[in-house]
Amino acid sequence: MANHKSSIKRIRSNEAKRVLNKYQAKTTRNAVSALRKNTNKKEAADEMKRVSSLLDKLAKRNIIHKNKAANIKSSLQKQVSNLK
């Protein structure tokens, strides 16, 4: 256990940040998988905007790497554009 007040506070704040990051990442993963299952092109195009925004926010906050966000967006965009 930590002995300093600042390290005790740091443990508390790190735990709070970890929980929030985990929630945001899981929400985005669920949105990505829902988009991958979508077969309607119009709905998928609308949903793509929202998912793209979520991925950009995660990358901006360093929850995921910016290149990973770009790779996911690229693969999703390919899939959406190939829908009929």
The tokens of 47 are what? 């949903």
Q: Does 68 map to a domain?
A: yes
Domain interval for residue 75 = 40-84
Q: Does 24 map to a domain?
A: no
Total count of domains within the chain: 1
Q: Does 26 map to a domain?
A: no
Q: Does 71 map to a domain?
A: yes
Residue whose tokens read 């390919």 = 78
Determine the pLDDT at residue 52.
97
Determine the pLDDT at residue 13.
96
The pLDDT tens digits for 14-26 are 999 999 999 999 9
Give the relative orientation of helices 5-37 and 66-82 as an angle to the nearest 10 degrees. Answer: 10
Determine the pLDDT at residue 3.
85
User: Which residue type is seen at 80?
Assistant: V
The pLDDT tens digits for 9-64 are 999 999 999 999 999 999 999 999 999 999 999 999 999 999 999 999 999 999 99
